[in-house]
Structure 1
Amino acid sequence: MSALPKAGVPRLMIAAVRSSAAPGRAAVQQLRAHSSAAASTAGTAPRTTMAATAAAAAAALGVAVAGSTFFLYGASSQSRTLHCEASSGAATAKGSNYAYSYSKDGKSGTSSNRSSGRAGAPDISHLNLSDINDPSKPMRVRMETYVKELQHRIVTTLGAEEVEGQFIVDSWLRKEGGEGISCVLQDGKTFEKAGVNISVVHGKLPPAAIRQMSADHAGLQERTSYNFDGPNAEVDGLPFYAAGLSLVVHPANPFAPTVHFNYRYFELTHPPKLKDGSPNPRYEEAKAKGTEQEPVAWWFGGGTDLTPIYLFEDDAKHFHQTLKTAADGNDPAFYPAWKKWCDDYFLIPHRKERRGVGGIFFDDLTLPDSTASMSSSSKSIAQRTSFIPLSDGKKGAAAAARGPITSSQQHSKESLFRTVRSMGDAFLPAYLPLIQRRKSTPYREAHERWQALRRGRYVEFNLVYDRGTKFGLQTPGARIESILMSLPLKARWEYMEKWSGAGWDGVDPAEREGSQEAKTQKVLRDPKEWI
């Protein structure tokens, strides 16, 4: 039977929150009451009004998008600036230290925080975009500029695909050092939920965190060459800097795929003083050379992956081919290793299936000697080149049996930054055609049910297995809204569900063969090469 167009559904207006002079808990509670009343009389409507409540709460309180590593979460923010466009009226309210304002009839609002711009997209007019391509600038400046420009580009482009809402721009400050800008759209016609977040944070990384990170970064503690433990500990931590962009998009249409990506840069530097308060000789030596800001250790990480609800092979092939083309332009060895790592990382072990059809995933992308002491080399970090070890995610005996993987050409920090930018720039060409192709496909309630079941799997992976989510939930003072932003608005679990649950064994083989759901499940259980 062919799919039928979905009936129109009344939407809950959130003007009450948008026109409030002080949007907050009372407004959200009032909206929830209206939502509950509407839900009790909307039995024939296939969409829940809870989504509108979530959108209103987001508009009133501000949300952020989760990243895949701990530093993207930031911490409880001291202040933030929230921008959204009011449907009627105008209001200005004050946060902790910053004012935020709404606009009316197309008139521009004002803000005391330069990081927040007009409704719908963050302001980047203060950025010097030439810094991105200037090797004389510190990498932290170049990466920060790049992720802010990319965020603006993505939010503007995705926003143009949405006709019933726009991104809320929520800027926040981290009291320990740094900032973030979260752009969130909820309960739209094209996007049920979309979040695009950047974080630029800095501070002191304590020894416990360095030890924990060493597990995923090949002996980081030893290679920084500091003693962190015992009565003879030299330092009580190292200065760190991290910048990254993270995105999750859950489309409204079940035939349009969910997508996730994040790209990030992390560095550690010498502390000016040792634990006992005396000058740090390594810092002083670097300062004499004018290299005190060059990191002791640094790396890039990231990835992009696709999670279709219903599998369209042409979509998966286009997505992978776009990523492969971008990766091959920097090194042909990148895509095969990173594709395998992505397939393995997004495995849901208790389901014996992947979260989606993969993409790429990588971490610890650095030069082999990047953590060496600056005094051990006459070359600056920017001048060093080397073949670099690659990983497909395997460790221990599995990695030993596979043998080493290396790049096919020598790389510098500059070429690795260029690689990360290539992959970030490939996101819109990889994903936008899929949204444009599928966002208006007619669908029925049965398709929404399957969408909710598949999103239940998304929730399972993120809460049970994702390293960044687990780390964030265990971190005191973390922004919970940021951590949970990756989750969909709606998800479903059914007992003995026949396509993806334990009911599979009872399905007639002939029925399996003709099922779109079974086709999707087959690929999730047995990843394939798409190109």
Structure 2
Amino acid sequence: MSALPKAGFPHVMMAAARITAAPGRAAAKQLRTHSSTASRPTGSTSRNTAAVAALGVVAAGSALILYGSSSDSRKVHCEASSGAATAKGSNYAYSYTKDGRATTGRSGAPDISHLNLSDINDTSKPMRVRMESYIKELQHRIVTALGAEEVEGHFIVDSWLRKEGGEGISCVLQDGKTFEKAGVNISVVHGKLPPAAIRQMSADHAGLQERTSYKLDGPDAEVDGLPFYAAGLSLVVHPANPFAPTVHFNYRYFELTHPPTLKDGSPNPRYVEAKANGTEQEPVAWWFGGGTDLTPIYLFEEDAKHFHQTLKTAADSNDPAFYPAWKKWCDDYFLIPHRKERRGVGGIFFDDLTLPDSTLSISSGKNAAQRTSFIPLSDGKKGAAAAARGPITSSEQHGKESLFRTVRSMGDAFLPAYLPLLQRRKSTPYTEAHERWQALRRGRYVEFNLVYDRGTKFGLQTPGARIESILMSLPLKARWEYMEKYSGAGWAEVDAEDREGSEEAKTQKVLREPKEWV
């Protein structure tokens, strides 16, 4: 065995939290029964807070986070086959199994029989319709594939409706034989984004305020916000076997459109003109974002190479310039500065994938989807570092259609990139020492997500945020040891032979010094 596990926005992470009743706790642990509950926080959420919360679904970084409130409207159907009792609250319903644990929702994979999957390739349909159909189909595909790898549990499917506009589906599996914890979640939300949220979002989306072309501040502000739409799919998988790697991905789409009226209540001339042309739903600004990254506990170089090669092949099929820039961005984004190491072996990461302002002309009309140009790319560097590096551009011309195709290529590459690794490693024999190292590496995952991940930090600072959703990416178990010799301050005391020979040390070396895998 050669040496042998974000993250940020917008992520859509609707989590189901495990609730264990005292009488059945020991038995549940012994039998490794799998169930989960999904709760909805109470309390009021203002329109402004709800809009800022929606910003958390689209602007942060490595994961999509959905923030719910008492305004969430949901109808849960509990279908526990061995349920002994049912309890209902104002925001949730639990069905308790005989061993004292609780479940909510239904098991299996989300139902997509109502979807018109031809919408995905129908260029006459709005991008919001196409993206929603795509992520729902991809969620179903992934949950079905992952579920086939689990023999002792199943995904709980938790559907919800947002009163202000939108819906989501959370699919979560915990305490399985293959999966310690796995979540595959989508969120499709819309509403009004206030000026403060637009300004905050501009920090990661250069020129956004200029792109909207509305005066947002001061006594002569034209609007009190802009209609937004956000759709995303986010996934985190923590396998039970220490030799099977953790994986994370999310892909998302966000847009702002013209408001029908101005702040003073008068008709918005730009909306009126657009409606006359049949383009009132055409975005003022839009972009895609996302990424996929791998976090091994023990490094198998062949696994890392396969993972990166699969992503590179998918990216190269759309533009050879994508993978090098996005691979570098991923390595830098998942850095844990206080540890001077990366969370894992990377993958790809990108945000603000859109067309130049000149191509995004508001008056572009019905032919906007056919307009193309070379597009600026980023490797995550900003300011002086970006200036020193110089501009990065695509090697091909792109339009909105080709960028959507790129996102689909990367989403479709997930199962071919990850599933062979899981299948190869999930049954590898392991010891308590391997589990201990796994828990230590899980601790690093927790450190990054709670301290540095943009989406997690944004969510925890947002009033009315759904903590269960925000923290769904965290593993069930993690460990911190004082002066641990491979990953902590005890490294200075490790002898040269151990530094070079142990699998833990080999893994740490790659995390401290990222390498090119393909």
TM-score (norm 1): 0.85
Q: Are 2:217 and 1:239 equivalent residues in the alignment?
A: no
Query: Aligned to 2:109, what secondary structure does the other structure show?
Result: coil
The offset of 1:72, in angstroms, is 3.5
Structure 2: tracts of 5 or more residues without a match: 2-15, 42-55, 98-103
Counterpart pick for 1:282 among 270, 279, 289: 270
Distance 1:321 1:243 in 2: 27
Letter in 1 for 2:68: A
Q: 1:193 to 1:426 in 2, by over 3 A?
A: same
Q: Which residue of 1 aligns with 2:22?
A: 32
Letter in 2 for 1:520: T
Distance 1:370 1:163 in 2: 53
Paired residues, what number? 481
Letter in 2 for 1:193: K
The superposition leaves residues 450-478 of structure 1 with CA deviations (integer Å, 9 ceiling, x where unpaired) of 00000000000000000001111111122
Choose between structure 1 and 2 for higher RCO, CA contacts under 8 A separated by at least 6 residues.
2
> What RMSD, in angstroms, separates the aligned Cα atoms of the two structures?
2.9
Q: Which residue of 2 aligns with 1:526?
A: 513
Structure 1: tracts of 5 or more residues without a match: 2-23, 40-47, 104-110
The offset of 1:512, in angstroms, is 1.4
Q: 5 Å matches for 1:81-480?
A: 81-82=75-76, 86-88=80-82, 119-369=107-357, 372-375=360-363, 377=364, 380-480=367-467
Q: Which has the larger radius of gyration?
A: 1
Q: 1:161 to 1:378 in 2, by over 3 A?
A: closer
Q: 1:132 to 1:101 in 2, by over 3 A?
A: farther
TM-score (norm 2): 0.87
Q: 1:81 to 1:491 in 2, by over 3 A?
A: farther
Distance 1:68 1:240 in 2: 10
Are the counterparts in 1 of residues 227 and 256 from structure 2 also a CA contact under 8 Å? yes
Are the counterparts in 1 of residues 377 and 393 from structure 2 also a CA contact under 8 Å? yes
Q: 1:427 to 1:344 in 2, by over 3 A?
A: same
Query: Aligned to 1:202, what secondary structure does the other structure show?
Result: strand
Distance 1:523 1:475 in 2: 35
Q: 1:94 to 1:373 in 2, by over 3 A?
A: farther
Distance 1:60 1:483 in 2: 13
Are the counterparts in 2 of residues 82 and 169 from structure 1 also a CA contact under 8 Å? no
Distance 1:60 1:153 in 2: 22
Query: Aligned to 1:201, what secondary structure does the other structure show?
Result: strand
Distance 1:440 1:68 in 2: 37
Distance 2:358 2:75 in 1: 38
Distance 1:345 1:129 in 2: 34
Query: Aligned to 2:132, what secondary structure does the other structure show?
Result: helix
Are the counterparts in 1 of residues 215 and 221 from structure 2 also a CA contact under 8 Å? yes
Letter in 2 for 1:206: P
Q: Which residue of 2 aligns with 1:76?
A: 69
The superposition leaves residues 387-440 of structure 1 with CA deviations (integer Å, 9 ceiling, x where unpaired) of 000000000111011111000010010000000000000000000000000000
The offset of 1:59, in angstroms, is 3.5
The offset of 1:221, in angstroms, is 1.1
The alignment-based identity, stated in percent, is: 85
The offset of 1:384, in angstroms, is 1.3
Q: Which residue of 1 aligns with 2:470?
A: 483
Distance 2:124 2:459 in 1: 34
